[in-house]
Amino acid sequence: MKIAVVGLGMMGRLHARVLLGEPDVEQVVGVETDPERTAELAAELGIEVRASLEEVLPDVDAVSITLPDDLHLQPALLALTAGKYVLVEKPLATSTADCEAILAAQPLPGRLMVGHLLRFDERLRELKRRIDAGELGRLRYLRIHRVNTRATADRVADRVSVTAFLGVHDLDLLLWLTGQEIEAVSAEGRRVFGDYSDVTVALLSLTDGTLACVENHWLLHPSSARSCLAGVQVFGDAGSALVDLSTDELELITAAEPRSVRVDTRNWTHDPQVSGGALRRELASFVRAAVTGTPVEITGEDGIRAIQAVELVEAAATRAGAE
């Protein structure tokens, strides 16, 4: 198959590199609208880079969209309307309305996949299997937390809340692990850097009575040896489970590069000598669906549920701030 990667920032370049290593992928074509970066990116990645998705669509079978969150709508509509399999990096979009528009553009069910990477972490897959098998008994309480450094805030805090950027991972994880829906939400948020919440703590009641706490912020000092603090704790009548998601990084400090350099060895790596990587498993799953014409593993419906959860948390935090 031939696949286009739309948007060649950090995630787009990672997608391109991983896809180039997939045996069922014959060609990867990049789409980058910044003409000053086209030649540089083509040389870096060893692929053809074009200026628009419209130009590429007749020549490809599938499309991976790795643009900033607020730019997902139009390319997703364009690619789905053209009958392509489409992967959209999380979140699917920035509002329920945009998610609904994207879902409605599918020519057939199961053509749209959302890149919720955590579902491809083998530790979390095993946790999901054991929860579904009833090994923890009836679930009573979950705590999920994800904290990034201020470097993340410097990049995105002027355009998005911490819940929409980080919390969407954890809210999707909560819904997927439990198989439940959100019954009620209370939340508190605080602004630190700008117009959006930079600290959010949400308490969620699920349809089966399970209680969950989701905590997100990006206040970790950028000089920290860890770029992320994250984890999942699950407590049931028959057992409990603890997963530390904080880091799988190799931290390097050398004479040539005296500052701390972090090399991710689990999620992002495209080097088969280091790790298969959750991103490689995610993209392999998408390619497999596109090649065989079968439904994708993480659907657009999953994506919209995560955005609806984000909107519930943000609305609850707004109400709490107004009281």
Q: What is the pLDDT of residues 146-191, one digit of tens each?
A: 999 999 999 999 999 999 999 999 999 999 999 999 999 999 999 9
The answer on 112 and 177 residing in a single domain is no
Cα dihedral across residues 241, 126, 112, 103: positive or negative: negative
pTM for the predicted model, two decimal places? 0.91
- Token pair, residue 17, equals 């590199």
**Per the domain annotation, does 280 fall within a domain?**
no
**Per the domain annotation, does 204 fall within a domain?**
yes
The answer on 109 and 147 residing in a single domain is no
The answer on 169 and 40 residing in a single domain is no
- Best CA proximity match to 270, nearest among 20, 2, 31, 5: 20
Residue 103 lies in domain: 2-118+286-297
The answer on 109 and 124 residing in a single domain is no
pLDDT range class, residue 226, cuts 50, 70, 90: confident
Q: What is the pLDDT of residues 239-267, one digit of tens each?
A: 999 998 887 656 665 666 555 566 665 66
The answer on 23 and 112 residing in a single domain is yes
The answer on 154 and 55 residing in a single domain is no
The answer on 174 and 75 residing in a single domain is no
Q: What is the pLDDT of residues 2-42, one digit of tens each?
A: 999 999 998 999 999 999 999 999 999 999 988 888 889 99
